[in-house]
Structure 1
Amino acid sequence: MISRTVGNINLKIADTYEEMSREAAKIVITQVTNKADSVLGLATGSTPLGLYEEIVKTNKKKEIDFSKVRTFNLDEYYPIHPEDPYSYAHYMDVHLFDYLNLSRKHIHLPDGATTNVEQECRDYEAKIKSVGGIDLQVLGIGTNGHIGFNEPNHYFEKRTHLVDLNQETIEANAHFFGCSSKVPSQAISMGIASIMEAKRILLLASGKQKAEVIEKALFGKISPQLPASILQLHKEVYLVLDQEAAASIINQVKPPSCYWGKVLTQQSY
């Protein structure tokens, strides 16, 4: 495991996806252990699956209590019914919620079946505000730099809103649906300001397809054309990667081969 600080970002590079997932789980578990009534912002997709598996394992051992925890998911497809097997509501049940001692009244996702999207967006923001905001927000990142479903744009969308999904995003999610034509073309997503107001942020990325966008998000110009770049401005971000996702930055964050020799020499005096 390589641990470095890059600006305000606490970077951890794991050897494998499994190690990345365990490291991410430690951060979430520590949050809940230190604050029993934590408000967690949660993400979906392939990357967080290992994280959720680790959390479930810990909960089964009764080493952590989720009874007072409240959750808010980043996004949901639109239109889609919560019981639809392709909905994020169903995803969360199958991979996490069904296995935790988590009260159903404490679980929140945007309603993909709403008939009034604008009101749903306002209500979702109000719910987050009513519990004092999100303590720890879990994020994934798209190959185009989106976080939540905040796609590349000419400006940062501030609050929960309806998004027209990019074709690249639709293609990336096609494997969940069987083909791209079945992927909804819209989604309800927290906005950038909603995400940035979280007290702490945990961003996960795995696989070589994420390497280029991770480098741009970490070291590139802050721009709404690469939404994840805004995280450079957050006060407490944990970026946990596997080796493949870190491929483009590893030489920029890894100490030179003589580094440890110098440290040992200095310590010997």
Structure 2
Amino acid sequence: MEVVILPGTKQIGALAADAIESLVRRKPNAVLGLATGSSPLPIYDELASRYEAGGLDFSQAHGFALDEYVGLEAGHPESYREVIRREFTNRVNIKPDNVHGPDGAAEDLEAACQAYEDAIKAVGGVDLQILGVGTDGHIGFNEPGSSLASRTRIKTLIEQTRKDNARFFDSIDDVPHHVVTQGLGTIMDARHVVLVATGAQKAQAVRDFVEGPVAAICAASILQMHPHATILVDEAAASSLKLADYYRHTYDNKPEWQGL
């Protein structure tokens, strides 16, 4: 796990976009894992700007969303399919048929979950997975207590997550209780994971999953076991890290050839 502490969201978005641009240039049919929420937005803004400047081509790439609410009608503005389209894929030239999301409206959710796992495997797996992290350490919608080996499945949201997400709805009563989410085992299959966390409200979660034990109570801690996990945080989110000075020193003196 590499922890990179940067001044703010602009620098974080640019560095993550550098990694994605490098991937897409060397592998035009790259498979990107796409997260929603506020954390990835600077990345999507930067990638859209680079596309608009004429230097970045997503026409052969694939995108797979992490999760989806259960029970929202098709086209609902807060469904994650729509959020991904609005915030990223409609702003670049990725083909609509190459953008995939779990089916939270399926009659047979168990079959839909397996179909999503199969779809990821059919394109060779995710090359780079973008992640945010919840205040309780969840990634995707793998809430505290999730199996560290879990695959795509239905999950019940804890009330804190519903409260955190209520800002996107008219009220908390409109936030669904259930989601379909990639599992921790699914996320761990990605060849490179880039997690973004910003703001003081994420400081405890960052400390817990970076420097605490690997445990189901903090789902993101499984990333300690990933062979290529990059954690991008601002100063506020890094404020509780015991080894913050070491992380800064390591990144400042990193050999250029290593990349991100």
With the shorter chain as reference, the TM-score category is: over 0.9
Tell me how far 1:146 sits from its aligned partner: 0.5
In the alignment, the residues of structure 1 paired with residue 191 and residue 239 of structure 2 have an alpha-carbon distance, to the nearest angstrom, of 29
Name the SS of the counterpart of 1:13 in structure 2.
Answer: strand
* 2:245 aligned partner: 254
Equivalence map 1:45-194=2 (5 Å): 45-153=37-145, 155-156=147-148, 158-194=150-186
* 2:8 aligned partner: 16
Say if 1:104 and 1:255 are closer, same or farther in 2 by CA, change over 3 A: closer
Say if 1:248 and 1:230 are closer, same or farther in 2 by CA, change over 3 A: same
Of 27, 30, 36, the match for 2:22: 30
Deviations 1:32-55 (CA, angstroms, capped at 9, x unpaired): 112111001110001111111001
Deviations 1:199-218 (CA, angstroms, capped at 9, x unpaired): 11000001100001101101
Name the SS of the counterpart of 2:130 in structure 1.
Answer: strand
| Corresponding letter in the other structure for 2:99 | I
Does the CA contact (< 8 Å) of 1:152 and 1:227 recur in 2?
Answer: yes
Structure 1's consecutive aligned runs of 4 or more residues displaced over 2 angstroms after TM superposition are 154-157
In the alignment, the residues of structure 2 paired with residue 77 and residue 154 of structure 1 have an alpha-carbon distance, to the nearest angstrom, of 17
Instruction: Select the structure of larger CA radius of gyration.
Output: 1
RMSD: 1.6
Tell me how far 1:237 sits from its aligned partner: 0.6
Name the SS of the counterpart of 2:243 in structure 1.
Answer: helix
In the alignment, the residues of structure 2 paired with residue 61 and residue 235 of structure 1 have an alpha-carbon distance, to the nearest angstrom, of 33
TM-score under structure 1 length normalisation: 0.89
| Corresponding letter in the other structure for 1:140 | G
Does the CA contact (< 8 Å) of 2:34 and 2:84 recur in 1?
Answer: no
Name the SS of the counterpart of 2:231 in structure 1.
Answer: strand
Does the CA contact (< 8 Å) of 1:110 and 1:188 recur in 2?
Answer: yes
In the alignment, the residues of structure 2 paired with residue 255 and residue 46 of structure 1 have an alpha-carbon distance, to the nearest angstrom, of 28
* 1:206 aligned partner: 198
| Corresponding letter in the other structure for 1:59 | Y
Unpaired runs of 5+ residues, structure 1, are 1-8, 264-269
Q: Report % sequence identity.
A: 36
In the alignment, the residues of structure 2 paired with residue 86 and residue 155 of structure 1 have an alpha-carbon distance, to the nearest angstrom, of 27
Tell me how far 1:156 sits from its aligned partner: 2.8
Name the SS of the counterpart of 2:5 in structure 1.
Answer: strand
Does the CA contact (< 8 Å) of 2:146 and 2:219 recur in 1?
Answer: no
